[in-house]
């Protein structure tokens, strides 16, 4: 019966989730390379070979964790953008939400934005979840641009012709219609945002800019100004 299939499916979905939860817990102590099928199984009270009914290999489990993490981060950023005309407040809120999520899930953040795991190649399934945060940022800018509140992005230095072309291609491939200087500045702000968060989480700021709270807030204001949001 369909209802019984549904029961089995539900149990399966639950255990799949349990496996991923336990794997996430292990990321925290051992890092991505330390993630072990056997240890996950052990902790769940099952035999290691049983995991292979759920994930055909360790790499598949890793991929699932990566996709989940991109989606969780993306969802956090989307939720933080409440919409409305106050684009500066939205910009701030989105940036903060990214940092908050990263600080709350440092090992998953490291999985996404840290050193690539040697021998692991991310499949294309990760591309669109990875795009969610940049799309939220670009959404805010796009609305500001459409509303005519985006200022002072046409100051020199201008992107070189090849860079402008690259930006134009990217803009249309994302289904947006932003001029190259806007998109270029957005890209710079994007790398700045994650650069700061990575420095904070990976320990580069310890002893110099520590705590990083005030620094982050200030940089977010500066970047908002830089991308052309109203002062």
Interface ranges with DNA (CB under 7 A): 1-2, 4-5, 7-8, 12, 15, 35-39, 46-50, 52-54, 57-59
For the bound state, the minimum distance from the C-beta of residue 55 to DNA, rounded and expressed in Å, comes to 8
Looking up tokens 């803009």 gives 171
With CB under 5 to 8 Å by kind, the binding choice for 66 among DNA, a second copy, none is none
DSSP code of 176?
-
Side-chain half-sphere exposure of 10, counting CA atoms within 13 A: 6
In whole angstroms, give the CA distance from residue 50 to residue 38.
Answer: 10
Q: Does 208 bind a second copy (CB under 8 A)?
A: yes
* Structure-token pair, residue 186: 């957005």
148 binds, among a second copy, DNA, none (CB under 5 to 8 A by kind): none
CA distance 201 to 221: 20
The two structure tokens encoding residue 203: 């320990």
* Binding segment (CB under 8 A) for a second copy, from list 47-55, 82-90, 142-150, 157-165: 157-165
Figure out which of the listed residues 30, 79, 104, 146 binds a second copy, where binding follows CB under 8 A: 30
- Closer CB to a second copy, residue 37 or residue 196? 196
Residue 14: CB minimum distance to a second copy, A: 29
- C-alpha angle with apex 78: 76 to 80, nearest 5 degrees? 70
Q: Which of 6, 11, 47, 188 binds a second copy (CB under 8 A)?
A: 188
The number of beta carbons lying within 10 Å of the beta carbon of residue 115 is 9
Cα–Cα distance measured from residue 159 to residue 136, given in angstroms and rounded to the nearest whole number? 23
List, in order, residues 6 or more apart from 11 with CB less than 8 Å away: none
Report what 39 binds from DNA, a second copy, none; CB cut-off 5-8 Å by kind.
DNA
Positions that interact with a second copy (CB under 8 A): 29-34, 110-111, 113-119, 122, 127, 130, 156-157, 159-160, 162-163, 166, 170, 184-185, 187-188, 191-196, 198-199, 202-204, 207-209, 214-215, 217-219, 221-222, 225-226, 231
């Amino acid at each position: 019966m369909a209802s019984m299939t549904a029961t089995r499916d539900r149990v399966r979905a639950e255990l799949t989730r349990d496996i991923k939860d336990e794997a996430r817990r292990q990321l925290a102590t051992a890092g991505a390379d330390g993630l072990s099928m056997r240890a996950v199984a052990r902790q769940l009270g099952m035999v290691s070979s049983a995991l292979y009914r759920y994930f055909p290999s360790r790499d598949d489990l890793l991929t699932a964790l990566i996709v989940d993490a991109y989606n969780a981060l993306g969802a956090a950023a989307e939720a933080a953008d409440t919409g409305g005309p106050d684009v500066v407040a939205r910009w701030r809120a989105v940036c903060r939400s990214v940092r908050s999520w990263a600080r709350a899930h440092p090992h998953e953040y490291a999985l996404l934005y840290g050193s690539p795991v040697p021998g692991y190649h991310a499949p294309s399934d990760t591309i669109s979840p990875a795009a969610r945060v940049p799309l939220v940022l670009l959404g805010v800018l796009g609305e500001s641009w459409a509303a005519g509140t985006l200022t002072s992005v046409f100051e020199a230095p201008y992107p070189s012709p090849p860079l402008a072309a690259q930006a134009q291609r990217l803009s249309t491939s994302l289904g947006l219609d932003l001029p190259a200087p806007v998109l270029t500045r957005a890209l710079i702000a994007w790398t700045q945002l994650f650069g700061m968060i990575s420095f904070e989480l990976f320990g580069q700021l310890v002893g110099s800019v520590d705590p990083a709270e005030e620094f982050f807030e200030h940089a977010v204001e500066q970047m908002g100004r830089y991308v052309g949001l109203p002062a």
